[in-house]
């Protein structure tokens, strides 16, 4: 029997939408930091509106998807065209390589935006991007674990399982 069909479309769209889910996972952390700031300074209680805070559940994922659309497209296309299968080594490789691409993309955007300013050096900017690297690695690793087809042994392929 021929080997099972590789789900290129599913894998491509899973990695294409990876920034959206990373942005969605980031919202609770933002909400907690806002609540800590509000409760530590009681003067801010009337300034923060719940509707504005809960709009983050829509705005953050869309903004993350918009900012990282090009690297997500390239990573998704590369993984789906190479027909990468799921194994522990591939999960780790995808997580670290994809997070490196996201870090490079973030650094490029940050340097373009702050090119005319004299404050802060590249090292300080790199340290501020470290949480994004970790978030990207976790999101890409989980996406690879959930959406890449598992590697089949030669015997299972021959029996058609």
Model confidence pLDDT, tens digit, residues 16-74: 999 999 999 999 998 898 888 888 887 777 776 777 888 999 999 999 999 999 999 99
Distance CA 72, CA 19 (A): 7
State the DSSP H helix or E strand holding residue 26, giving kind and residue range, or none if neither.
helix 18-40
| DSSP SS3 for 150 | strand
Find how far residue 63's CA is from the centre of its chain: 12
How far lies 60's CA from each of 63, 117, 135, in Å?
5, 26, 14
pLDDT, residue 160, reads 42
Residue 97 CB-density burial (10 A; 0-12 exposed, 13-18 middle, 19+ buried): middle
Q: What is the mean pLDDT of residues 82-86?
A: 93
pLDDT, residue 98, reads 95
């Amino acid at each position: 029997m021929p080997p099972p069909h590789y789900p290129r479309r599913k894998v491509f769209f899973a990695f294409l939408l990876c920034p959206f889910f990373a942005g969605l996972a980031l919202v609770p952390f933002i909400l907690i930091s806002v609540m800590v700031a509000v409760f530590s300074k009681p003067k801010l209680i009337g300034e923060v509106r719940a509707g504005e805070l809960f709009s983050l559940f829509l705005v953050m994922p869309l903004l993350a998807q918009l900012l990282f659309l090009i690297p997500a497209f390239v990573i998704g296309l590369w993984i789906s065209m190479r027909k990468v299968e799921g194994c522990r080594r591939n999960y780790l490789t995808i997580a670290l390589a994809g997070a490196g691409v996201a870090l490079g993309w973030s650094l490029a955007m940050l340097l373009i935006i702050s090119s005319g300013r004299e404050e802060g050096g590249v090292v300080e900017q790199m340290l501020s991007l470290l949480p994004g690297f970790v978030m990207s690695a976790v999101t890409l690793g989980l996406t690879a674990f959930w959406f890449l087809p598992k590697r089949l042994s030669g015997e299972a392929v021959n029996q058609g399982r």
